[in-house]
Amino acid sequence: GAGGGSQKDRVVTEEEWLQKWEKGNIGFHKEQGHPLLQKYLDVLLNGRSGLRIFFPLCGKAVEMKWLADMGHSVVGVEVSEQALKEFFAEHNLPYCEEPVPEISGAKKLQSTSGNISLYCCSIYDLS
């Protein structure tokens, strides 16, 4: 092969990403949450409550539930609908689904409690 760049510089296509979720090839998902977020959570929150916290490329990150349980509002975006549905299923959270008229083909999955809103679309389509 010609000039193979390093793996870390490789861009994963949307199709490859969706296939990772379909096949369960999600070694990047941390069941216990990301250690750096745990370590620096107090710094991030800085004693504040009721924050609106954005999770780009959220997958089914468990931290979204933790932060919502602390009283924060969570907004995530993820292209894999499967990942978002797994998030709600694994936390036994009821949710409703609605289209996002401004973004063709996009959906918003929102917890019935209203504090978790996850957009199923490309992050580049989200304003």
State the average pLDDT over residues 48-77.
Answer: 95
pTM for the model stands at 0.82
The mean predicted confidence, pLDDT, of the chain is: 89
In the chain, pLDDT over 90 holds for what percent of residues? 68
Rounded CA-CA distance 41/4 in Å is: 38
Give the lowest-confidence range in 8-12, 20-24, 46-50, 58-62.
Answer: 8-12
Question: Domains in the chain, ordered, with CATH?
Answer: 14-125 (3.40.50.150)
**Interacting residues of 71 by C-beta distance below 8 A, sequence separation 6+:** 49, 50, 115
Q: How far apart are the first and last CA of the chain?
A: 39
